[in-house]
Amino acid sequence: MSDGAGQGPIRLLHLHSTFDAGGKERRVVALMNRWARPPYANRLEHHIVSAVPSAMGAKALIEKHVRAFFPFGFPPLAGKLRIARLQRLARAMHGFDLILTYNWGAMDAVMAHAVFAPSMGLAPLIHHEDGFNADEAGGLKRSRNWYRMIALSRASGLIVPSRQLEDIALRTWRQPQARVQRISNGIDIALYARKPRPDALPRVVKRPGERWLGTLAGLRAVKNLPRMVRAMRDLPPEWHLVILGEGPERDAILAEAMRLDLGHRVHLPGHVADPSAAVGLFDLFALSSDSEQAPLSVIEAMAAGLAIASPAVGDVPEMVAEKNRPFIVAPGDEGALARAIAALAADDTLRESIGKANRARAAAEFDEAAMARRYAEVYARVLPQKSF
């Protein structure tokens, strides 16, 4: 990345499947915030569109000095596949220096680019794939795989955060090796060293003697959070489950807690803008997802010095420290997950030892500065006329 003296700003168009504050969105905002600081201030303009116009929770995480815009009247990213609709999408992409698309919800825009980029002189496009929703958690759909293969044919790059997704991109979507870039997610590790105040969260306070089993996730079906409610039901009474996030599955989670008579021990404080100010309140971190790739929440838990219980989804078994790997269990095995949680909950010394190992691994492997450098390098390769 250069200082770009004498050049106008680089206009980036971000086309998201959703812009709620999930892991993918928080990573994108972290990059935007970092690149808006000196010496690169005012070099980039970010124009952000969500396929779900009401899903804009990550907007609140963008720092004031970022040049972020939200185009009014941009054509819907989702809808019936019609050539006229793709043409409207392509026209709306005109005038930008780099087009960045994210996940299946933006794949029609990728297709529009593939069809019309040469005739309309559209900017290069880089697609980002971070994982799958519940409708593909149990297996990828053949029709979507073919659609992705065709749509990505003119993409200048495909960025994925996990080895599993890299393998899918190369083998299933048949993308050329030169197009696929695996960049590990990263966070500002130092922020997670601090111990949050007991009252740092809205609507719930950690009282003396309480222990918290925690997670950070969008409340979506693919996260299978009722499974986590069931997995903690046999923990001693001082243990509470705290789920940070928002989404459509809130009522289902609370209903399961009430069914098991755990309503007083299951807390959903909502979305937390700064996870580093909250994750350190947990005594143990867990996932219950049916599908993940390289979850940012796991890195955040590692940076906070926590032990982790999780299904072996995505790259989670490779992400955690070796000491933690016995507590990463077979996907879908609810009993095994409950046993892993119980074993870690019962042993303070073991949790502390694993937490220290996880923090050291996070610092070595998942630093935000290194991630930002890799993204800048990939973007810069396709911007020959401007310095990124």
Contacts of 96 by beta carbon, 8 Å cutoff, 6+ apart = 11, 12, 13, 47, 123
Percent of the chain residues past pLDDT 90, beyond the cut: 85
Strands lying side by side in the sheet with 308-311: 266-270, 239-244, 211-216, 284-286, 308-311, 328-329
Residue 2 has pLDDT above 50, yes or no: no
65 neighbors 37 (Cβ within 8 angstroms): yes
Q: pTM for the full model? A: 0.81
Please, which pLDDT band fits residue 202 given cuts at 50, 70 and 90? Answer: confident
- How, if at all, do strands 211-216 and 125-128 pair? unpaired
What digits encode the pLDDT tens for the residues 151-163?
999 999 999 999 9
Query: What pLDDT is stored for residue 386 in this prediction?
Result: 66
Element spanning 364, H or E? helix 348-365
Overall average pLDDT of the 26-49 stretch? 89
Overall average pLDDT of the 241-269 stretch? 96
Query: What pLDDT is stored for residue 134 in this prediction?
Result: 75
- Residue type at position 241: L
CATH 3.40.50.2000 matches 189-365? yes
Query: What pLDDT is stored for residue 3 in this prediction?
Result: 46
Residue, of 175 and 294, whose pLDDT is higher: 175
Q: Cα 301 to the chain's mean position, in Å? A: 14
Please, which pLDDT band fits residue 50 given cuts at 50, 70 and 90? Answer: very high
382 neighbors 3 (Cβ within 8 angstroms): no
Query: What pLDDT is stored for residue 38 in this prediction?
Result: 78
Query: What pLDDT is stored for residue 353 in this prediction?
Result: 98
Please, which pLDDT band fits residue 252 given cuts at 50, 70 and 90? Answer: very high
Overall average pLDDT of the 271-295 stretch? 93
Q: The domain at 10-186+367-381 falls in which architecture?
A: 3-Layer(aba) Sandwich (3.40)
Instruction: Find, among 46, 47, 27, the residue nearest to 36 by Cα.
Output: 46
What digits encode the pLDDT tens for the residues 78-121?
999 999 999 999 999 999 999 999 999 999 999 999 999 999 99
Domain ranges for the chain: 10-186+367-381, 189-365
Distances from the Cα of 65 to the Cα of 24, 49, 130, 322, angstroms:
21, 19, 27, 40
Query: What pLDDT is stored for residue 254 in this prediction?
Result: 97
